[in-house]
Amino acid sequence: MATKVTLRQKPISKGRKSLYLDFYPPITVAGLDKPTRREFLGLYIIDNPKNPLEKLGNKETLLVAEQIRQKRENELTKPEVYNAFEIEQLKAKEKGELSFIAYFEQLMEKRIGKNYDVWFSSLFYLKEFTKGSLKFIDLNEKFCNDYREYLLKTKSRRTGTTNLSQNTAHSYFNKFKATVKQAFKDSLIPIDLNGKIEPIKEADSNRLFLSMEELNQLAKTDCPNPILKQASLFSALTGLRFSDIEKLTWSEVVYKNGQGYFIYFQQKKTKSNEYLPISEQAYTLLGTRKEANHQVFEGLVYSAHQNTVLLKWAMTAGIQKHLTFHSFRHTYAVLQLQAGTDIYTISKMLGHRELKTTQVYAKIVDETKRKATDKIILNFNQNEY
């Protein structure tokens, strides 16, 4: 009896369907104890495509899947045509014809929040470089290195005039490397190319922060936007990002007898749930308590115009620094380190997933100490010693 091979779809998470082959009667596969009816292809389609790009992706994926189905049926109905080695070679060739771009998109769809946005932007540059077409068979060490150089030299799609920053290129290339690594794990490429590719190094970024003296000077100076001042000082006392302060509600601010005030919230950037103790002074910046669903910093809006407000506020206070709201989060981290708080605790307070993200602040403190040592100069003849 000839084996019939049917292409079927199985609903899975995130509104997707996994494609697989259904064999009837069941076939014997090396390594399995009993015959099987299913062979999953590692291909996915979107259940309800919402735009032309998703529809095109579904169409291309289904076309590849149908080609695999036809070849597999030929292998089974005409076994004399192929020996075992040739069948494995055919399977490898089929995988090589699959789209790396579509595979990247599938991994991207599993991401959430800001991480999804970074993957989406990374995909844009990959499509630009490949003109939207890249098969696994064309993925090799030379291609990876060429793409690396492209990211280091290409113009930013946001400005159109300046190159991507090194840290942005670093981030986008990391997403590409992560996809290559996963493709090897999924047996879509024969060698671990990720281990052979040199990463784009992350450049030291200039994290502007305020000294304790400057922060106190700001606190004593009126700001054109009082709610912005209130939120900025709150960030300096807690390390919270603007996005988390903006959405903070009174239901997330709690008091525990004998322990003080805490904030229970979900980070907008990472979607992780956080438990953050805050000082009495930070709590006073929240103002009069209101109903649970009420925003704490009602009316807080951040825009390019507010950067100008921050600049004017700093200048009025006699501070010659180009402040952004994120400067107050940096200030919190640096002042905590200078006060002797260990870096692990600071990392947890900032909600960092990895300690290395926090270590850049330790470097800033070390540089500050070095500059401080050169400020005391004695007037004597060094040749005497």
Q: Is residue 177 very low, low, confident or very high in pLDDT (cuts 50, 70, 90)?
A: very high
The gap between the terminal CA atoms of the chain, to the nearest Å, is 100
Asked which of 27-41, 260-274, 277-291, 354-368 is least confident by mean pLDDT, the reply is 354-368
Helix (H, G, I), strand (E, B) or coil at 338: helix
In the predicted structure, residue 254 carries a pLDDT above the cut 70: yes
Give the pLDDT confidence score for residue 158 in this predicted structure: 76
Percent of the chain clearing pLDDT 90 (strictly above)? 24
Residue 87 above 60 pLDDT? no
The stretch 32-48 carries a mean pLDDT of 85
Cα–Cα dist 166/172, whole Å? 10
Q: Under a CB-based contact definition with an 8 Å cutoff, are residues 135 and 98 in contact? A: yes
Specify the residue for token string 């090799």. 140
Q: Report residue 351 as tokens.
A: 């909600």
Residue-level pLDDT at 346: 79
pLDDT the model gives residue 250: 92
Indicate the pLDDT class of residue 227, thresholds 50, 70 and 90: very high
Helix, strand, coil distribution of the chain in percent, nearest 5: 50, 15, 35
Running DSSP on this structure, what letter comes out for residue 241?
-
Give the pLDDT score at 362: 67
What is the distance between the alpha carbons of residues 233 and 182, in angstroms, rounded to a whole number? 43
Classify burial at 208, counting beta carbons within 10 Å of its beta carbon; exposed 0-12, middle 13-18, buried 19 or more.
middle
What value does the mean pLDDT take over residues 229-240? 91
Judge whether residue 135 has pLDDT over 80. Answer: yes
Comparing CA positions, the residue from 308, 342, 348, 331 lying closest to residue 234 is 331
Q: Quote the pLDDT of residue 230.
A: 93
Q: Which fold is adopted by the domain 212-372?
A: hpI Integrase; Chain A (1.10.443)
User: What is the pLDDT at residue 165?
Assistant: 86
Retrieve residue 66's tokens.
């149908």
- Higher-confidence residue of 207 and 82: namely 207
- 270: pLDDT strictly greater than 90: no
Write out the residue limits of the CATH 1.10.443.10 domain(s) in the chain.
Answer: 212-372
> Which parts of 9-83 fold into alpha helices (H)?
52-77
DSSP string across 191-219: S-GGGGSPPPPPPPP------HHHHHHHH
Give SS3 for 31. Answer: coil
pLDDT at 234: 92
Of 235, 231, 233, which Cα lies nearest the Cα of 329?
235
- 354, pLDDT greater than 80: no
